[in-house]
Amino acid sequence: MVSNPVSLPSYRALEWQADELTGSLKLIDQTVLPTQLKHIDGNTVEHIWEAIKQLKVRGAPAIGVAAAYGIVVGLQPLFQPGADVSRGEFDQQLAKVARYLAESRPTAVNLFWAIQRMEQVAKDHPQMSAADLQKRLLVEAQAIETEDRAMCARLGEFGASLLPANSGILTHCNTGGLATAGDGTAFAALAHAHAAGKQIHVYADETRPLLQGARLTMWELMQRGIPCTLITDSMAGQVMKEGRIGAAIVGADRITARGDAANKIGTYSVAVLCHYHKIPFYVSAPSSTFDLTLLEGKSIPIEERVSTEITHPGGVQLAPTGANVYNPAFDFAPAELITAIITEKGIIQPVTEANVRKVLSA
Ligand SMILES: CSC[C@@H](O)[C@@H](O)C(=O)COP(=O)(O)O
């Protein structure tokens, strides 16, 4: 195992900021990166909902952390100076805010996992006053954030141990510090392998249509001094055929009990290409990304996004007015195409239902 310590990125996708009475969630607006490093202030639950919906904050783990803080922010309006908030009133607002946030995006299960975890705190403390419970919920949101950071570090260590040295590594979408509270999932493996002197060179798919690879992963790789090259999604097969790629590693938004892994659209193509070229295809995700209530990838809800993301990239019209568009934001790689799934609890290999359940229950 590679256990070289890796420093965290200097930028933080999300940061809780609080004065004595209220707090808000400071977010990097990821829609304007890399040309602008701009922050937004998530000081209402509507702001946070919008930020998730519009991908200002994105990436499965980061969405979960943002939703946890979103619950705290959504309950704050109850506590006006002098207000005596009853527990009934508090529970009603909690349910409302939880339902609202759950409607922001459908695929990343970390969103629902974090919301349920926050709601469970209230269920576990039926006698607690509203004011104390509000404080306790903030502690829970902070714990979700801290745990995510620790999970990223483990994913980085485990992932780096699998990556071949002196090799090109292909990645898709963005799985770094911008997508998590820490160093990332798949990205953490790249950062750890680089820090350990493995001499890797990262090939980043641009990741159509919203270009998380070109805009965000390239920005993060360059910020961290990791050697990297940008390619379009359609070049992945060619760079593999040229022998430039020793492994591919991606993140996930939801992984089923049998190990089918949903991730950004285009991931399935990468998995198929890896299979054809006999290149290991790794998925890296924390346990909060697993949905053991689902067996097969085809049951994962796939978000469909607006057609203008394809017809008008960056606001510039590219397709004829009125063109029919299909815009699924995710696909899934079936377990059979995944060499191993890296989790903070260990490496799942081969990817079978029995192994998924065994590693996750460790
Ligand atoms: C650590 S992030 C893993 C995934 O969430 C990531 O690969 C991805 O697909 C993100 O999609 P996005 O639509 O940008 O939220």
| CATH value at residue 144 | 1.20.120.420
Atom of ligand 1 nearest to the CA of 184: 1
> pTM for the full model?
0.96
The reply to whether 23 falls in a domain is yes
Specify whether the CB–CB gap between 172 and 267 falls below 8 A: yes
CB atoms within 10 A of CB 33: 19
On whether residue 162 sits in a domain, the answer given is yes
The active-site residue out of 253, 260, 291, 331 is 253
Same domain, 118 and 141: yes
Does any ligand 1 atom lie closer than 6 A to the CB of residue 173?
Answer: yes
Q: Same domain for 140 and 235?
A: no
Residue with tokens 């009853």: 86
The last residue of one of the domains, among 150, 175, 207, is 150
Strands of the sheet containing 168-171, edge to edge, are 228-231, 201-205, 168-171, 245-250, 281-284, 340-343, 346-348
What's the CA-to-centroid distance between 186 and ligand 1, angstroms? 11
Same-domain status, 228 and 348: yes
- Residue-level pLDDT at 6: 66
Given a contact cutoff of 8 angstroms between Cβ atoms, the answer to whether 204 and 230 are in contact is yes
Strand 245-250 versus strand 23-28 pairing type: unpaired
CB of 179 sitting under 6 A from ligand 1: yes
Is the beta carbon of 61 within 6 A of some atom in ligand 1?
yes
99 is in an annotated binding site: no
Structure tokens at 72: 């705290």
Q: What is the structure's pLDDT at 1?
A: 43
Residue 141 lies in a domain: yes
What distance in angstroms lies between residue 211's CA and the mean position of ligand 1's atoms?
A: 11
| Residues 159 and 129 grouped into a single domain | no
253 CB within 6 A, ligand 1: yes
> Residues 218-224: contacts with CB within 8 Å, 24+ apart?
218/34, 219/33, 219/34, 220/9, 220/174, 220/176, 220/177, 220/178, 220/184, 220/187, 221/190, 223/9, 223/10, 223/11, 224/9, 224/191, 224/194
58 within some domain = yes
From the CA of 251, how far away is ligand 1's center (Å)? 7
Characterize the bridge pairing of strands 330-333 and 261-264: antiparallel
Residues 247 and 207 in one domain: yes
Q: Does residue 5 sit within a domain?
A: no
Domain boundary among 129, 150, 171: 150
Number of domains in the chain: 2
CATH of the domain at 255: 3.40.50.10470
What are the C-alpha distances in Å from 278 to residues 246, 254, 270, 274?
9, 25, 12, 6
Answer yes or no: is the C-beta of 212 below 6 A from any ligand 1 atom.
Answer: yes
Q: What pLDDT was estimated at residue 169?
A: 99
| Domain hosting residue 160, numbered range | 154-360
Q: Is 263 annotated as a binding residue?
A: yes
Q: Identify whether residues 350 and 270 lie together within a single domain.
A: yes
Q: How high is the ipTM of this complex?
A: 0.99
Q: Is 212 assigned to a binding site?
A: yes
Q: Is 253 labeled as catalytic in the residue annotation?
A: yes
Q: What is the pLDDT along the chain (362 residues), one digit of tens a residue?
A: 444 456 667 899 999 999 766 899 999 999 999 999 999 999 999 999 999 999 999 999 999 999 999 999 999 999 998 999 999 999 999 999 999 999 999 999 999 999 999 999 999 999 999 999 999 999 999 999 999 999 999 999 999 999 999 999 999 999 999 999 999 999 999 999 999 999 999 999 999 999 999 999 999 999 999 999 999 999 999 999 999 999 999 999 999 999 999 999 999 999 999 999 999 999 999 999 999 999 999 999 999 999 999 999 999 999 999 999 999 999 999 999 999 999 999 999 999 999 999 999 99
Q: Are 182 and 219 part of one and the same domain? A: yes
Q: Whose CA is nearest to atom 1 of ligand 1?
A: 175
245 ligand 1 Cβ < 6 A: no
Annotated binding residue 59:
yes
pLDDT of residue 5: 56
Give the C-alpha separation, 188 to 160, whole Å: 8
| Domain stop point among 150, 184, 207 | 150
206 shares its domain with 302 = yes
Q: Which atom of ligand 1 is nearest to the CA of 108?
A: 5
Asked if residue 289 has its Cβ within 6 Å of ligand 1, the reply is: no
Question: For residue 215, how far is its CA from the centre of ligand 1 (angstroms)?
Answer: 13
Do 172 and 129 lie in a common domain?
A: no
